[in-house]
Amino acid sequence: MRIGYGWDSHEFKKGLPLKVGGVELEHTHGLAGHSDGDVLLHAITDALLGAIAAGDIGTFFPSEDARWKGADSVVFLRAAMEQVHRAGYMVANVDSTLILAEPKLSPHAKKIQARVAELLRIEPNCVGIKAKTPEGMGTDNAAIAHVTVLLLRRANKPRARMTAAAHAKRGARD
Ligand code: MG
């Protein structure tokens, strides 16, 4: 198994759409960035890539590349999932903490959880969505996301034919 960690921050700007975890939320301000500024999807993408030591979001999607201007961050997450799949892993669970002054995320947590679960191909009860306000941090004009992810080796056909003893040995190694 592998563990991954991701972190991201984006600045609030008036009049932009606000997207968190692939869900658009009603708010006066949105998150500025080269892409759609989805701070949670960016941190999840980095956590996935970090878990398989495949670099980070900028490795695959450089911010100076005009193709990703205003891009839907789901594209980045899907690319990271493809890397995870190719490396022979699948997501077991993900946990996240968002730090932002406004808007209150708890009314939207279930919707964000369901969307992230769908994107990661796991059950909603394997997606932790937590939110805090930035007490004493002076970051009221930013949204910050911290994410950890656990990956498990995918079973494939040759491995499915392995003996129980070989599975036990491999399990100990992973
Ligand atoms: Mg970002």
47 CA to centre of ligand 1 in angstroms: 12
- Is residue 71 very low, low, confident or very high in pLDDT (cuts 50, 70, 90)? confident
Does 171 score more than 80 pLDDT? Answer: no
Give me the residues near ligand 1 (ion), CB cutoff below 5 Å: 8, 42
CB neighbours of residue 139 within 10 Å: 15
- Is residue 70 very low, low, confident or very high in pLDDT (cuts 50, 70, 90)? confident
38 CA to centre of ligand 1 in angstroms: 7
125 CA to centre of ligand 1 in angstroms: 25
pLDDT at residue number 65: 84
Does 131 score more than 60 pLDDT? Answer: yes
- The topology (CATH level 3) of 2-173 is 60s Ribosomal Protein L30; Chain: A; (3.30.1330)
145 CA to centre of ligand 1 in angstroms: 9
107 CA to centre of ligand 1 in angstroms: 23
pLDDT at residue number 164: 65
Does 157 score more than 60 pLDDT? Answer: no
- Residue from 30, 10, 11, 9 nearest 19 by CA: 30
Question: Mean of the pLDDT values across residues 22-44?
Answer: 96
Specify binding-site residues. 8-10, 34-35, 42, 56-58
pLDDT at residue number 170: 65
Q: Are 83 and 101 in contact (CB under 8 A)?
A: no
Question: Mean of the pLDDT values across residues 121-128?
Answer: 98
pLDDT at residue number 62: 85
36 CA to centre of ligand 1 in angstroms: 9
Rounded to two decimals, the pTM is 0.88
Distances (CA, A) of 63 to 8, 26, 34: 14, 26, 6
Average pLDDT, the chain: 92
Residue 38 belongs to what H/E stretch? Answer: none
